[in-house]
Structure 1
Amino acid sequence: MDKFAAVFIDWVERFGLDSARRQFGEMCTSEQIDGWVSEYERLVEGVKIGYPPKMLSAPGLKPWYPGPMPHHKRWPAFRDSLKHLSPDAVEKLDQSTSKILAHTHGPDTPKYLTKGLVVGYVQSGKTTSFTGVAAKAADVGYKLVIVLSGIHNGLRRQTQDRLQAQLIDTAGDGAWFPLTDSAKDFYKPPATFAAHQGSDRTILIVAKKQKDVLTRLLSWLTSAALVNVPALIIDDEADQASVSTPRINPQIRALLKLFPRCSYIGYTATPFANVLIDPAVPDELYPETFILNLPEPEGYFGAEKIFGRHAIEGEYAGAQLDGYDMVRIVPDNTVAQIRPVGRGSENGFVPTITDELAASLAYFVLATAARRHRGDDSHSTMLVHTGMKTVIHNAYRAPLNRFLKDLSAAVAGQDQDTLSRLRLLWDEETGRVPASLFAGLEPVSFDELMVHLPSVLTEVKVVVDNFRSRDRLDYRGTKPVVAIAVGGNTLSRGLTLNGLVVSFFVRSANTYDTLLQMGRWFGFRGGYEDLPRIWMTSGLKADFRHLATVEAEIRLDISRYEEQNLSPREVGVRIRTHPVLNITAKMGAARISYASYGGRRVQTRYFRENDRDWLRTNLEAAARLVTGAIDEGVKVDDRGDGTVILRDVDVAEVLTFLDTYKVHEESPDLDPRLVTAYIGKENRRSSPSLLTWNVALMGAPPGDDAHIVDFGGGIRLGTVNRSLIKGTGGDRADIKTLMSKDHRVVDMDISASAARGKSEGALVDLRNASVEHAMTGLLLLYPIARDSEPEPANADSRVPFDAADHVIGMALVFPGNADDKVSNKYVQVDTSGVDTSEYDEENNALDNPDPETS
């Protein structure tokens, strides 16, 4: 391409084809211009806009950006800086960032407002994505890029440093004009700035979402005669502060109104609050233009890999549901020793170095030494996050330093008891997560890492990082940092803890998004994939497993919506219909839950193993249901193999059972309020359904040596076996899977083997096509032996049930389709009992300037 063709094409991108013809018509012949137009059209045609990932976009929005052109300079410079990424990862980044920009509006459009949302994973490369979008936007004529980077200085500074290194420094003079730097947030620039407005530079601002900063920014932009330039506003952590926060949300909305040509793109890993914004409010931040779901990058450690997740309806067969064995349990009865419990208890609190905390600290220095043996001399970090309040963080400094000093002295003095304990700890941990699980990793013996242990103990330091401290975690020096970081909010929400190996985390949270964002252990662990460990309570482990399921379900739903070509306004409603989203709140605001159970099957998984009254209540509820149905004269279909079907049971009997049956609190999609409200709504439709139910008793033949459960009405069945997942029991006994796929049609005329040969979708269609079953619900009850033993093949991963009584498992199968547009309002999150003092630090950061920048 000759020089004039490049200039012409650049003009076309910025101002449109008609403007380019007029501008160049006085200097060039029509034949030259026609040739350049043909060249432009050839380039555009050669770049696919339909490449992955898929995107939900507003109807009628035509993608305009064809991809990087040969004469562009900012994107190529940024791309060349990504030497740490594989060529395949860079190619995927190129594709996704082009797709994002293509679904904004072209900068030459006379008037526009793009409002998009990019959904990634926690610590998965979202910063790299929006940096690439900024580079490409600047290449095609966006003259102002504003990055709203969280609410804390740590994240803002980290983002500023990244953009400085990957955008400003790489593109050279004349490409970018930054108005913020690493040391200082946005302040009104000098008046001489007006001289830069006519140049080819793109203005770059990285600002916190904090009241005073945004006030300064709005004031300056209003007076700087910049409101007519094409502006790109990137909202990092777009669900934090931007949504429903009275101090910040109006300022961001006012910022968007300043520019007649503006693209606003939110980035978040936790989109719950964003998709629950009311799309009917015109100037709100609902992503009405597009929603893009970034795929999980190769080599990424997310919630699913660490905690596993539950099976989801409609996913592909053989999905990997179990995470790596990287989580260690902190007993509930020790929490009061490591985190003050109750309002005001933090005053005078002194943390105890419990056995679990001592093990996590010792393992951190061992793992860091193992990395050194592998030739990895980069940063190594441990996170200690036990609470939000700064007084708690400060209380940890002395005990941690004392522990490290004593450990260093013991290692230096070759204390045999200490070395034996360290060897045992290392051997146990490397046995539970062997290096052989990960390609290219060699195991490290205790003797090999011992060579590096004394120097690691010399390097390690305790850093207390919170919004009041000046002793911040800083990786900008020339030497690798080995740090135990103690903190709260400043060590969450987008901030990358470089080389994070160990997390000691017992901080509670009351919302999905807050809890997920505090998980700094998600990310990339190249070269030490076998070493990350997390110490937390069993309840928190269960919470994160549930959140991994929430993430997977939202992404699966979005994929379905993409296939149906639904717009973001439609998907906003549809995401709310998912039952697992019934407990989401943003900054204490109430949220309404919806549910649709059409075509779904839901089942119990968790039980209270030792709670005899809890178990007895469920046995009695099952017996009352069966006895009542038989007394009403329902048809009893006894198949002689332990399966008994009660046909055409009245819905009133089923609702009474659901009101009595105890569901474990970790089964939100079986919340009786949601299920009964859905059934009631279906009963009241113009063509009602679920007025009658089939009840299937899924036992075994009552042999002489079998446990027997008496369901009443003359029905006595043997129990079935469901052993527990290893490491569970007590108040959270986990059987993982209650029902098999073929049980979905156990009340229909199809054999179990034939049903197993069909897909879930085919079984849904089979039920819906049956006149007899299309409007009938199916309730399944499983009498589970209190002493169920694992099968020999599962002896390594399963343990026996040791329940105080026999257990009744319950499953529900609903007719209809998963995409039925039947959405029902059910419950609101009750935040009346929230201890608002837990939010003091975040509110302080939103309201007041940070000490570093004031």
Structure 2
Amino acid sequence: MSDARIEAAWKRFQERLDSARPHEVAQELRDLFVPENVVEELLRRHELETTRIASLKEPLGLGRPDALPWYTGPRAGDKNWPAFEARVRRSLGPDATTKLDEASTRVVAMLDHPATPTFRSRGLVVGHVQSGKTSNFTAVACKAADRGYRMFIVLSGIHNSLRRQTQTRLIRDVVNLNPPLWHQITSPERDFVPPPNAQSFLASKDQRLLLVVKKNAIVLRKLRDWLEQAQEQLGNCPTLIIDDEADQATLATRKINPLIRDVITRLPKVCYVGYTATPFANLLTDPRDHEDFYPRDFILSLQRGETYQGPETLFGRHPVDGEDPEEVPGGLDMIRTIPAVELDDLRPKKATAAAQFEPAITDSLRRATLWFWIATAVRQLRGQRNEHSSMLIHAHSDTRVHDSYRAPLQDLRREVTEGLADGQPALLGELRRLWADESERVDNTRFGVARPSFEEIVQELGEVVDSTKIVMDHYRSNDRLDYDSGPVNVIAVGGNTLSRGLTLEGLVVSFFVRSSNVYDTLLQMGRWFGYRPGYEDLPRVFMPDEIRRWFVHLATVEEEMRKEIDRYLTEHKSPLELAVRIRCHPKMRVTAPSKAGAAVRSAAAYGGQLVESHYFPCTPEQDVQDWHNTNAKAVRSLLDAAYTEGRADLGVKSGRALWRDVPLSSVMDFLNGYAFHPKSVEASRSLMRQYIERRSQSGALVSWNVGVVGNAVQDEAHTVSLPGNISVGPVTRTRTKGSAEDDVADIKTLTGSRDEALDLRIPAGEAQMNRSRLQELRVQQQPERGLVLLYPINAKSQVPVRTKDGVTAEVEGRAPLNAPGEVVWGAAIVFPRPSQVGTDLAVEYDYLAADLREVFPSASEDEDEDVSVLEQDLDNDAEDGR
């Protein structure tokens, strides 16, 4: 290619950088058949140019204000990333490798250019629990090392087990793939021990330094003092600090927080990047303190893989703003209830009873353990004999409670081993029923895995049960989890050491009665999230009903939070311009109070929202019947008012009814009389009333439409009579299987995808509708007018049957409603978006967010009420290499 054409390509490259990223421009050139060697040359020239710029001004990574997009992605001549990429490709395949490449490139592009004279930035990467955060920061380290970063400090949790695990993985995935390029200052056996002559280590430009350091006061002081000895050399040593589990110990602790700050202040060229799946505390840190760890420069959210089983996959969630309720995940039928009557036999009533506590093998614990053995046998039949298989029992934080489980579990293992050997009919019948029940509840065919017969399973069970290890994993135990000595079947009983970072390999069954009402703590305890290749249908989680409902709320909070984070890139905002809001819960705390000391109540108004009832009490008690009767009375009063004071719309199809121009007073009377269940935290009667009153003061929401969504009458014996001689058939709404044994049915979604369009005209040709489009149409056609939708629900709704590919079956994951009476009434309220910009939206349901009103240096440290417990835990964890 001639010099003139190369220069023309270079000019085009520079012009396109105004609206596209370097790697995107490079791909455009490839699509125009520009030779690959020319594209590589242009990328090299671009990086040389940005290096020159970086030496003259303070650069900022992609997505930060005045961004200088210096990183173009991997290029020819790189050594660390290509080696790691090849390993990932062999183990995970090309698709997963491509996604890891793209995700890690986004992070590296946020870092400062290593040629910058000085820099000190802070960012946050939000992953998912048990979803490959380690792979991402390993890829980031490889790419940063290929571009000039020289020292890599990984802060790896507070326990030795996690630090060893992280160091071992980095040796395997980075150091051993390019040994001449790396020098390890720490090892799996030894945490940081200061090597002599720090200047010589830091002066060498040929090797990258790797330190995997526990967040421990003694270790961090050694690191700080060692760096202090080489201040002259550090000016030429760009450093990347990766803080794994960045919300733990780093924030609001008396010892650890100041020491990590001290380490950072010793480094003239340093990027600090926190990694966590539970960033609530990080997002609520005081942004005015420049030395603390609010992610002032960037925040990124990692995408989860399609096969990742996270909170919304297992528990389901509620819709967030702009979502079609029918497209929101309902959750797999994998959650099993631990009855409240069993809890006193599974955990001590109070902390003082821990020493004398003796657990029992309750019905649910027995069922969970038997299922673990069955599922492990199924995995072996599917060719996973050389894979680990684990069960987690998380009952309490006290190590004495952990130890008390050893004898009962050993007795159960002995009983089942002997029963299988003797062919005891009662045991075999129990196992057969358990396999039949559980294998029916989760369809194996949707995951493309085989379903063996019970006879095949029995042939494997004896060896599986007999080989199972029972391990108490806590800091006082000598018998810890060991996945490095070959395949193991293990039942692990533990608490804090199993709650953070540490991966339980091949986790199949989780038995969880540990109580916590803090968002981040509860999510981190959920070790059951992750990838389950080849056994996606087998995991089961046993927990009390209230905790299961909390996880549904957390799944909703997490989805909403990630949408907020994604706004940074789409709106070109920085974390100092736009604070991420986190929805609150009436019974749960977002994080420890000291970690949220600088947070303020934030906003999310009802404008544009759909509020609906999706919880219904279903016991035969009189107070439950009275609750439904009261709601029915409120519905009848609103329908009578709509008929007498509104205007009937006769254009709706059979099975539905609509009245327009219903006065606000009738709707307010309805809100006073109709009760949304307390679990519907977004449906606060007082907040909705306040919001409507505020809007009505400016002339909005003074007129409403009221509709009934039923079915066309097919059976005269089962009709619902409405004013005006209108009759409709009741609708079917079943409960989730997860709530089948609850006193309160969770139907997940009340409204259909087009129900909100009942009072709208749908333009011709628009067959597909989502909530965002419906909101647009409402602003255009029904400005400042709300809609109340009422649903007569068949109280005995049965699970519908659907035919797919010639096979007829019940809808998966649902159970009959079984509510009292014949009809229960559901309600949905559609709040239109304000049609006038600047409308007062002051009444909202509660959110927390960082306070950005006064972003200027002002240091103040709050006491953490959890500090003493945390730092005692740090001191208890045995120190390697002190």
What's the TM-score once normalised by structure 2's chain length?
Answer: 0.81
Report the equivalent of 2:27: none
Give structure 1 stretches of 5+ with no counterpart.
1-35, 50-54, 830-835
In structure 2, how many angstroms separate the alpha carbons of the residues matched to 1:78 and 1:467?
33
Change (3 A) 1:144 1:348: same
* 1:456 and 2:464 matched: yes
Report the equivalent of 2:552: 545
Report the equivalent of 2:186: 180
Report the equivalent of 2:12: none
SS of match in other structure, 2:281: helix
In structure 1, how many angstroms separate the alpha carbons of the residues matched to 2:398 and 2:837?
46
Conservation of the 8 A alpha-carbon contact between 2:799 and 2:810: yes
Report the equivalent of 2:772: 761
Question: For 1:205, which of 207, 211, 216 is the aligned residue?
Answer: 211
SS of match in other structure, 1:422: helix
* 1:814 and 2:831 matched: yes
Change (3 A) 1:272 1:292: same
Q: Which moved more, 1:80-89 or 1:586-595?
A: 586-595
Change (3 A) 1:445 1:565: same
- Shift in Å, 1:733: 0.9
Question: For 2:80, which of 74, 77, 84 is the aligned residue?
Answer: 74
Deviations 1:150-204 (A, max 9, x none): 222221121111112212222113x222222212322333346635532422222
* 1:497 and 2:497 matched: no
Deviations 1:571-614 (A, max 9, x none): 424x34x5779954222345535323322212111111226435
Report the equivalent of 1:331: 339
Report the equivalent of 1:164: 171
Change (3 A) 1:776 1:789: same
Deviations 1:652-691 (A, max 9, x none): x65565455433333222233543454455456xx56345
Conservation of the 8 A alpha-carbon contact between 2:584 and 2:846: no
Question: For 2:647, which of 626, 637, 652 is the aligned residue?
Answer: 637
Q: Which moved more, 1:699-708 or 1:285-294?
A: 699-708
Q: Which moved more, 1:738-747 or 1:354-363?
A: 738-747
SS of match in other structure, 1:274: helix
Question: Residues 353-752 of structure 1 correspond to what in structure 2 (within 5 A)?
Answer: 353-376=361-384, 377-439=386-448, 441-477=449-485, 479-559=486-566, 562-573=569-580, 575-576=581-582, 584-589=589-594, 592-610=601-619, 612-613=622-623, 616-617=626-627, 619-620=629-630, 623=633, 627=637, 635-639=645-649, 643-645=657-659, 647-650=661-664, 654=667, 657-658=670-671, 661-672=674-685, 674-679=687-692, 682=695, 687=698, 689-698=700-709, 705-706=717-718, 720-727=730-737, 728-729=739-740, 730-748=742-760, 750=761
Conservation of the 8 A alpha-carbon contact between 2:391 and 2:492: yes
Question: Residues 264-303 of structure 1 correspond to what in structure 2 (within 5 A)?
Answer: 264-303=272-311
Conservation of the 8 A alpha-carbon contact between 1:148 and 1:233: yes
Report the equivalent of 1:30: none
Q: Which moved more, 1:454-463 or 1:195-204?
A: 195-204
SS of match in other structure, 1:344: helix
Conservation of the 8 A alpha-carbon contact between 1:124 and 1:296: yes
- Shift in Å, 1:108: 0.7
Conservation of the 8 A alpha-carbon contact between 1:677 and 1:826: no
Report the equivalent of 1:41: 42
- Shift in Å, 1:87: 1.9
Report the equivalent of 1:22: none
Q: CA RMSD in A?
A: 3.8
Conservation of the 8 A alpha-carbon contact between 2:731 and 2:791: no
* 1:103 and 2:73 matched: no
In structure 2, how many angstroms separate the alpha carbons of the residues matched to 1:476 and 1:193?
36
Change (3 A) 1:790 1:86: closer
Residue 665 of structure 1 aligns with an amino acid whose one-letter code is: P
Conservation of the 8 A alpha-carbon contact between 1:637 and 1:646: yes
In structure 2, how many angstroms separate the alpha carbons of the residues matched to 1:428 and 1:818?
53
Change (3 A) 1:276 1:355: same
Change (3 A) 1:670 1:690: same
In structure 1, how many angstroms separate the alpha carbons of the residues matched to 2:706 and 2:418?
67
Report the equivalent of 2:248: 240
Change (3 A) 1:95 1:112: same
Deviations 1:455-511 (A, max 9, x none): 32332111101233232212122x212211000121122111111121112222212
Report the equivalent of 1:60: 66
- Shift in Å, 1:633: 11
Deviations 1:54-90 (A, max 9, x none): x982221122112223322222232233231212222
Change (3 A) 1:362 1:626: closer
Deviations 1:273-294 (A, max 9, x none): 3333344443332223222222
Residue 775 of structure 1 aligns with an amino acid whose one-letter code is: E
In structure 1, how many angstroms separate the alpha carbons of the residues matched to 2:325 and 2:638?
38
In structure 1, how many angstroms separate the alpha carbons of the residues matched to 2:763 and 2:753?
9
Residue 450 of structure 1 aligns with an amino acid whose one-letter code is: V
- Shift in Å, 1:255: 3.3
SS of match in other structure, 1:251: helix
Change (3 A) 1:719 1:512: farther
Deviations 1:347-382 (A, max 9, x none): 311111112211221222222233233332121111
Conservation of the 8 A alpha-carbon contact between 2:519 and 2:591: no
In structure 2, how many angstroms separate the alpha carbons of the residues matched to 1:341 and 1:733?
28
Report the equivalent of 2:56: none
Change (3 A) 1:316 1:609: closer
In structure 1, how many angstroms separate the alpha carbons of the residues matched to 2:223 and 2:703?
62
Deviations 1:287-319 (A, max 9, x none): 232222222124322223323333444347863
SS of match in other structure, 1:670: coil
Report the equivalent of 2:24: none
Conservation of the 8 A alpha-carbon contact between 1:212 and 1:848: no
Residue 850 of structure 1 aligns with an amino acid whose one-letter code is: A
Change (3 A) 1:431 1:853: farther
Change (3 A) 1:638 1:693: closer
- Shift in Å, 1:385: 1.0
In structure 2, how many angstroms separate the alpha carbons of the residues matched to 1:446 and 1:700?
44
- Shift in Å, 1:699: 6.1
Residue 476 of structure 2 aligns with an amino acid whose one-letter code is: R
Change (3 A) 1:629 1:406: closer
In structure 1, how many angstroms separate the alpha carbons of the residues matched to 2:835 and 2:565?
13
Give structure 2 stretches of 5+ with no counterpart.
1-36, 51-60, 803-808, 849-863
In structure 2, how many angstroms separate the alpha carbons of the residues matched to 1:768 and 1:428?
50
Report the equivalent of 1:850: 878
Report the equivalent of 2:359: 351
Conservation of the 8 A alpha-carbon contact between 2:390 and 2:504: yes
Q: Which moved more, 1:404-413 or 1:249-258?
A: 249-258
Residue 626 of structure 2 aligns with an amino acid whose one-letter code is: R
Conservation of the 8 A alpha-carbon contact between 1:396 and 1:486: yes
